[in-house]
Copies of this chain bind each other. A is one copy, B any other.
Amino acid sequence: MKKTSAQSSISSPKSEQDLALRQPLYVVVAHTLQKEIEQGKYTVGSVLPTEEMLVDRFQVSRHTIRQALRELKDQGLIQARAGIGTIVRTQPGKIWMMSGLNSLVDLLEFATETEMHILNTSTVTADRHLVKMIKCELGSKWLHMEILRCLPDQPRPLSFLKVYVQPKYAPKLKKLKHMREPIYAVLEREYGVRIAEVRQELTADSLDHDIAELVDATPGQAALSIIRHYYDSRGELVQIALGYYPSGRYTQTTRIHSKLDE
């Protein structure tokens, strides 16, 4: 007499869960609310239903509702204040599409909008120079690809990428010449790999002659250089990308929130 009062309005009890969605309840709730915010059901500045009302609506415990709201809070989507309620802060996607990078979802979705032209592909062993560049293990082997990333309606490339992928994923990658989807999407489709975390390191640099020519920029021009390490859900490093973004073509916004301060 405890199991009978479970889910009702958000996902069918057992039929649809078989193939696709066996997701936790709080994820379902969070997604539902996020979609509704995107669709304008709750506008920026407006107040979300109280936790108790959401409990009634989704027929889950307050604990589950709060966990869902915490996800949205961590994304900077909403802001909760005791005594007031939960207000919508920003509309996801809309404004930040091209520049935003607040969550992994944003990062990956942004990558989807670009075209990838693969210049060359090779297999490399990490020497000291490469170890220093991308902070991998000495002697480790990698599939190396050089890529130009372009936006559909822009004359000049967005960036030049040097990508290093674990060799076990080489078969499906090494013959590619052109992609409309990022490499992580290929890995997911072909190998079932899901990226769970990205760590990136960001500096300013001057473009050298070779790269400047590739991206149609002037040598010495300022550029963002970004090194990204991609990890799967088990914490294994699957991909490293080194990107050069000439100044004026890319801006990155980040949100840093405080929960633990002293």
A residues near B (Cβ < 8 Å) are: 27, 30-31, 34, 71, 74-76, 79, 81, 89, 99, 101, 103-105, 107-108, 194-206, 220-224, 234-235, 245-248, 250-262
Contacts and interface: CB of A to CB of B under 8 A. Distances in A.
- What's the dominant secondary structure at chain A's contact region? mixed
Given A31-B262, A71-B259, A204-B245, A253 B199 contact: yes
A30 B104 contact: no
B103 A194 contact: no
Given A221-B206, A260-B71, A253 B201 contact: yes
Given A31-B260, A81-B234, A257-B196, A204 B220 contact: no
Contacts of A194: 261
A203 B79 contact: no
A224 B206 CA distance: 11
Contact of A202 (B195, B254, B261): B254
Contacts of A261: 104-105, 108, 194
Contact of A104 (B202, B206, B251, B257): B257
A205 B247 contact: yes
Given A196-B257, A197-B257, A203-B251, 13 more contacts: A27-B260, A71-B260, A75-B260, A104-B261, A108-B261, A197-B258, A198-B256, A200-B254, A202-B202, A202-B251, A204-B224, A204-B247, A206-B221
Given A220-B220, A258-B104, A253 B74 contact: no
B99 A201 contact: yes
| 5 cross-chain pairs, A with B, having the tightest CB-CB distances, nearest first | A222-B222, A104-B258, A204-B224, A204-B222, A204-B247
Of A104, A202, A220, A252, most buried by chain B (CB within 10 Å of CB) is: A202
A104 to B, nearest CB: 4
Nearest to A90: B199
Nearest to A207: B222
Contacts of A27: 260
B202 A252 contact: yes
Contacts of A252: 201-203
A260 B199 contact: no
Contacts of A258: 103-105, 195-197
Contacts of A248: 203
Contact of A222 (B223, B256, B262): B223
A123 to B, nearest CB: 28
A89 B258 CA distance: 20
A198 B260 CA distance: 14
